[in-house]
């Protein structure tokens, strides 16, 4: 059940990001101003909350990315991606991170998430978990 809820949560986030990207690319100036006023504070607060969880501890390790057996030194990949997208923009060299969430920047958002699901597995543009056998 947690896996299904997790997939629903991830799909909702991808859908929201796709919607905002579509608005940024297609909306008129007046609509863009309205969206920016409502969404930019939410997005910046979201970034702040996520980055707070990845602040280095007293040893310089990321408490969120570190495990009991493997310590992740700061800056972790979350801080690196934040810097790349929020500060460096298109000027930062593109590194390939070994993370499943890393999206191919050259592909469209809906094309970068692996193989195409069957029609029975889709809702909107996002794949849902394959049907789970009931007990």
- Burial-class residue 51 by CB neighbours within 10 Å (0-12, 13-18, 19+): middle
Q: Is the predicted pLDDT of residue 111 greater than 70, yes or no?
A: no
What are the backbone dihedrals phi and psi of residue 126, each rounded to the nearest 5 degrees, phi first? -120, 135
Parse the chain into domains and list their residue ranges: 2-127
66-80 tens-digit pLDDT = 999 999 999 999 999
Q: 81 falls in which pLDDT band (50, 70, 90)?
A: very high
DSSP class of residue 79 equals H
Q: According to the 3-state scheme, what is the secondary structure of 28-78?
A: CHHHHHHHHHHHHHHHHHHHHHHHHHCCCCCCCECCCCCCCCCCCECCCHH
Q: Three-state SS for 124?
A: coil
pTM of the model: 0.61
Q: Which residue has the higher pLDDT, 53 or 100?
A: 53
Give φ, ψ of 19 to 5 degrees: -65, -45
Q: Looking at the DSSP assignment, which residues form a beta bridge with residue 122? A: 127
């Amino acid at each position: 059940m947690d896996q299904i809820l997790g997939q629903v949560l991830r799909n909702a986030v991808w859908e929201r990001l796709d919607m905002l990207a579509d608005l940024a690319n297609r909306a008129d100036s007046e609509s863009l101003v309205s969206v920016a006023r409502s969404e930019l504070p939410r997005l910046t607060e979201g970034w702040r909350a996520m980055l707070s969880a990845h602040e280095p501890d007293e040893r310089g390790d990321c408490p969120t990315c570190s495990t009991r057996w493997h310590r992740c030194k700061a800056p972790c990949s979350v801080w690196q991606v934040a810097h790349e997208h929020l500060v460096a923009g298109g000027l930062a060299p593109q590194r390939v991170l070994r993370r499943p969430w890393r999206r191919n920047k050259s592909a469209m958002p809906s094309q970068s998430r692996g193989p195409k699901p069957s029609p029975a597995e889709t809702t909107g543009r996002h794949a849902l978990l394959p049907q789970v056998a009931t007990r």
